[in-house]
């Protein structure tokens, strides 16, 4: 039987632990809590249900990147395979994960703002009034668009 693949969105709870195997392969472990919501028709509002705890494990580059990127309280999206149920927690082997953009902005290495973006914003000076309007043409002289430049 193939392991079941699932998608979970939740909040990282606690610190990410990273270790290395004897062969130098990174493996990290972190806790994730998903709090499902349900519409309460009588109260006309959403209410939180019982939180679902996950213990997630990631390997290799994903483990290294997760260790550098995840902190306590960050909302993430995880795709993984359920590997077990123990002590009221679901064990998940993580195949992929990403930061949820619902409540924050995330920058990647290639999309970091330039140092110019960090400079304080200064308003552009207001436009200066135009110089005196051109003198009306004299009767009998050609209109301004036909006059020769000085």
Domains in the chain, ordered, with CATH? 5-101 (2.40.50.140)
pLDDT tens over the chain, length 150 residues = 666 889 999 999 999 999 999 999 999 999 999 999 999 999 999 999 999 999 999 999 999 999 999 999 999 999 999 999 999 999 999 999 999 988 888 777 777 766 666 566 677 777 777 766 666 556 667 776 777 776
d(CA 138, CA 90): 91
Please indicate, yes or no, whether the overall pTM of this predicted structure exceeds 0.75: no
| Residue that the structure tokens 């990403």 belong to | 98
Quote the pLDDT of residue 123: 72
Place of tokens 């200064």: 122
In angstroms, the Cα distances linking 107 to 73, 99, 101, 116 are 17, 10, 10, 16
Sequence-distant (≥ 6) Cβ neighbours of residue 3 within 8 angstroms: 81, 82, 83, 93
What pLDDT does residue 106 have? 77
């Amino acid at each position: 039987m193939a392991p079941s693949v699932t998608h979970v969105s939740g909040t990282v709870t606690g610190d990410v632990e990273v270790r290395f195997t004897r062969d130098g392969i990174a493996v990290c472990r972190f806790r994730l809590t998903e709090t499902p919501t349900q519409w309460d028709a009588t109260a006309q509002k959403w209410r939180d249900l019982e939180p679902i705890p996950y213990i997630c494990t990631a390997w290799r580059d994903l483990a290294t990147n997760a260790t550098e990127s995840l902190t306590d309280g960050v909302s993430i999206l995880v795709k993984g395979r359920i590997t077990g149920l123990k002590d009221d927690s679901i064990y998940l082997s993580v195949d992929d994960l990403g930061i949820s953009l619902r409540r924050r902005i995330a920058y990647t290495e290639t999309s970091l703002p330039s140092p110019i973006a960090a400079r304080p914003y200064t308003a552009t000076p207001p436009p200066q009034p135009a110089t005196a309007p051109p003198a009306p043409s004299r009767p009998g002289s050609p209109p301004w668009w036909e006059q020769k430049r000085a």
